[in-house]
Chain A
Amino acid sequence: MSAAPLLSVRDLRVGFATEGGLLQAVDGVGFDLKPGEVLAIVGESGSGKSVTAQTLIGLTRSKNSRIDGSVKLDGEELLEADDATMRRLRGERIAMVFQDPMTSFNPVYRIGSQIVEAIRAHKGDADKAQARRQVVELFDSVGIPDAERRVDDYPHEFSGGMRQRAMIAMALALEPEVLIADEPTTALDVTIQAQILRLLEDLNRQHGLATILITHDLGVVAEVADRVLVMYAGRIVEEGTLDEIFYDPQHPYTWGLMGSLTRLDRPRPHRLPQIAGSPPSLLDLPEGCPFRPRCPHEFSKCPQDPGLEARLSEVPDHRDRCWLTPEQKREKRQVEGQIGLEAPQEAPRV
């Protein structure tokens, strides 16, 4: 019943040579993206989510990086593709939108001409006037008013939300199959964020644009995602459908993320459940499960590296990396009637 995946990633590993040693930013990540699907990758600093996304379009290739594994788009292996192939692919088959619209456009060129530049880089014979008309149409379709005039404005003449719409317009210009949005709304006000999410959702539902959405904000995930990957220290620690992750999370880190959220629709808890400690240094990971130092449920099996497995027999696509049994998990994750880690009794560890 399931369609063949559009994008297929297997055992992706990305390491960077640094002064302190080899930094394994991505350590064995695999997932499928189906046509028309919205996949959310959730994580914090050091989780490897951005590096994963940038590796898909070859932006992390350099002297200091070591990339292994497989990334297949429509069956074609990308990690071995040469630079020219990757360049053609960027924008044409996989397009990317970045976090900060303020700095993502070159300040000295008009926005319209930067989009025309993208179009002409792929369609060398495109007529300038025709390309410009296309840009005006794109601006209309992403909801930028007065498009004909605004095409000739400079980036600093746009507001943050409009700039992000322009970025999305640029990403769509060549009708890619996959859109990767890396924290597209983090730098925006919450009312603008809602509009941009609406836009991304429309693009997905109406045009069937497969989307990878990278974010740390579970609220955003709840609004638009179909499937969710939770990443920590370069690995996927849990994956599943939206409902599975939100209503039956299996990994203590996921519990912690859920618990530390403030919910406007629920009464205020006395204390926000928190995760102790800080995101790990990738140069200094513990043996076995990387979440150990911060996990209040650590036990004897944890120094062994847990594999990413479906531990709930009825749900083969809901996988996690935690040795606790499903029963133990259900028991331990309740805090004050909602999902979250236990608030520590003594002063927080740092």
Chain B
Amino acid sequence: MLRFVVRRLVGMVFVLFVVSILVFLIFNVIPNSPPAQRLAGKNATPVLVKSIEEEWGFDESLPVQYVTMMKNVFTGELTSYSPRIPVNDQIQEGIPATFSLSIGAGIIWLSFGLLLGYLAATRAGGWLDRALTGVAIAGISIPVFLLAPVLIYFLTYKLEIFPNGGYVKLTEDPWEWFTHLILPWFTLAVLSIGFYSRVLRSNMLDVMNEDYVRTARAKGLSEGRVMTRHVLRNSLIPIVTLFGLDFGATIAGTAIITEVLYGITGVGYYAAHAIANFELPPIMGVTLYGAFFVVFINTLVDIGYAYLDPRVRLGASAQ
């Protein structure tokens, strides 16, 4: 176990390192106007631009710029170009919103996905199974950037059932916090509900044909017990891994489009803004934050998997 964790930590450092280099290189390769120029504004004189370059270090070579930037990351001094705010603070401010969105959506998509998957598998071939399959495929197919505007238009504008976007802190007003998140939760979850129900259905159908399920019936267990303790228990193991990956990715920022469309001021929103303005420091900050979460949650998932499936126990010898 120790061996496993240590390896993961080393791996994480390595991943973060590679990610940071890639982001840095990509940013410096894609065509964009020099930051110094943009900072200087419209009627900039070359002298002004030069002094900004010196101040920010844009006149240094790329490797030096990289090292400086990474130093700033570790000391927490990474600042965006304009406005000149520490990236750290911005990210921290955005975290509650992103977490509220991701965790809420995660709970929804997991519970509904599993429920629908279970129903479809136990009534496989029947009309309910076919209907749920249709619903699942619809959910997987509708892109977020289509669904969100449609929902916003009909449910917040035309019918005014829900508030029109924005985020309200839980500590300020729980009810408003809740109503503001309902549509975003749904939008973010709908894709995954479809996906997870298909995966669970497929896993369950496989497991139901396994020999040990036949043994369970042959020793006289009730059908309910066979389904829960034997079929579900084994079908859920791959879903745990899947959920870990998905959830990790969501927190890391795949909720970016949803956040932007609904105006939820989370980390993704911040990142979108930074991308639109070609600001490297926030992009670097958000990407590293995201990479960290992905690796961290994946590690948790792997440990959890070993707990769920005794055949895969970490550490110890091959036998």
Tell me, in angstroms, the Cα distance from A57 to B223 when the chains sit together.
15
Contact of A96 with B218 in the complex, beta carbons under 8 Å: yes
Q: How far is the CA of A156 from the CA of B216 in the complex (A)?
A: 18
Interface centre among A87, A88, A100 (most CB of B within 10 A): A87
B217 touches A106 (CB 8 A): no
- Tell me if A118 counts as interface (CB < 8 A to partner B): yes
Known A103-B212, A105-B212, A106-B234; judge A170-B220 contact (CB<8 A). no
CB of A121 within 8 Å of the partner chain? yes
Closest to B212 in A: A106
Docked-complex contact A100 and B221, CB < 8 angstroms: no
What separation, in Å, do the CA atoms of A127 and B232 have in the docked complex? 26
CB of B50 closer than 8 Å to a CB of A = no
- A84's closest neighbor in chain B, by CB? B222
Q: Mark B203-237, 1 if CB is under 8 A from A, else 0.
A: 00000001110111111111101000110011001
Contact B212 A121 (CB under 8 A): no
Q: Known interface pairs A107-B311, A156-B311. Does A59 touch B220 (Cβ–Cβ under 8 Å)?
A: no
Assess whether B54 is interfacial by the CB under 8 Å rule: no
The SS class assigned to the A binding surface is helix
Contact of B234 with A90 in the complex, beta carbons under 8 Å: no
Q: Are B308 and A108 in contact (CB under 8 A)?
A: yes
- Distance, CA A194 to CA B237, complexed state (A): 37
Closest chain-B Cβ to A125's Cβ sits at a distance in Å of: 16
Q: Mark A95-111, 1 if CB is under 8 A from B, else 0.
A: 11010100111111100
State the interface size on chain B (CB cutoff 8 A): 23
Give the contacting residue for A91; candidates B212, B220, B230, B233; CB below 8 A: B220
Shortest distance between the CB of B147 and any CB in chain A (Å):
38
- Is A89 in the interface zone, CB < 8 Å from B? yes
Q: Which residue of A lies closest to B319 (CB)?
A: A157
- Contact present for A122 and B220 (CB under 8 Å): yes
Minimum C-beta distance from A160 to chain B (A): 14
Contacts A59-B214, A98-B214, A100-B211 given; does A107 touch B310 at CB 8 Å: yes
Closest to B210 in A: A103
Contact B309 A108 (CB under 8 A): yes
Instruction: Say how far B126's CB is from chain A's closest CB, in angstroms.
Output: 10
Is B220's CB under 8 angstroms from A89's CB?
yes
User: Given contacts A105-B215, A121-B225, are A154 and B311 in contact (CB under 8 A)?
Assistant: yes
B217, B219, B221, most chain A CB atoms within 10 A:
B219
Q: Which residue of B lies closest to A115 (CB)?
A: B219
Flag whether A117 is at the interface (Cβ < 8 A): yes
A170 to B215, CA, bound (A): 10
Interchain CB contact under 8 A, B218 and A90: yes
Taking a contact as CB atoms under 8 Å apart, the answer to whether B310 and A108 are in contact is yes
Main secondary structure of the interface of B (DSSP, over half): helix
| Chain B contacts with A in 272-316, Cβ cutoff 8 A | 308-311
Mark B56-91 against chain A: 1 for CB-CB distance below 8 A, else 0: 000000000000000000000000000000000000
Residue of B211, B212, B214, B225 ringed by the most chain A CB atoms within 10 A: B212
Chain A minimum-CB-distance residue to B211: A103
Check A170 against B219 for contact (C-beta < 8 Å): yes
- A167 and B310 alpha carbons, distance in the complex (Å): 19
Contact in complex: A98, B211 (CB < 8 Å): yes
Which residues of A lie under 8 Å from residue B234 when comparing CB positions?
Answer: 106-108
Give the CA-CA distance A122 to B222 in the complex, in Å: 10
**Residues of chain A contacted by B229 (CB below 8 angstroms):** 109, 117
Q: Mark A293-313, 1 if CB is under 8 A from B, else 0.
A: 000000000000000000000
* Chain A residues closer than 8 Å to B310, beta-carbon distance: 107-108, 154, 156
> Which chain B positions have C-beta within 8 A of A89?
220
Which chain A residues lie closer than 8 Å to B311 at the CB level?
107-108, 154, 156
A108 to B211, CA, bound (A): 14
Report the nearest B residue to A173, measured CB to CB. Answer: B219
Of B210, B218, B221, B233, which contacts A117 at CB under 8 A? B221
- A95-B219 in contact (CB<8A): yes
Contact between B221 and A87, CB atoms less than 8 A apart: yes
Q: A34 → chain B, closest Cβ, in Å? A: 23
Residues on B with C-beta less than 8 A from A109 are: 229
Chain A 5-26 near chain B by CB (<8 Å), digits 1 or 0: 0000000000000000000000
Indicate if the CB atoms of B215 and A92 lie closer than 8 Å.
no
Q: Find the residue from A121, A156, A171 having the highest chain B CB count within 10 A.
A: A121
Q: For residues 81 through 125 of chain B, which have their beta carbon under 8 Å from a beta carbon of chain A? A: none
6 chain-A/chain-B pairs, Cβ below 8 angstroms: A83-B223, A90-B218, A105-B215, A106-B230, A107-B234, A117-B229
Shortest Cβ-Cβ A-B pairs, 6 listed: A90-B220, A103-B211, A118-B219, A91-B220, A91-B219, A106-B212
Q: Which residues of A contact B (CB under 8 A)?
A: 57, 59, 83, 87-92, 95-96, 98, 100, 103-109, 117-118, 121-122, 154, 156, 167, 170-171
Apart from the given pairs A106-B215, A118-B219, 18 other A-B contacts in the complex at a CB distance below 8 Å: A57-B218, A87-B221, A90-B219, A95-B218, A95-B219, A103-B210, A104-B212, A104-B215, A105-B212, A106-B216, A106-B233, A106-B234, A107-B311, A108-B237, A109-B229, A121-B219, A122-B220, A154-B311
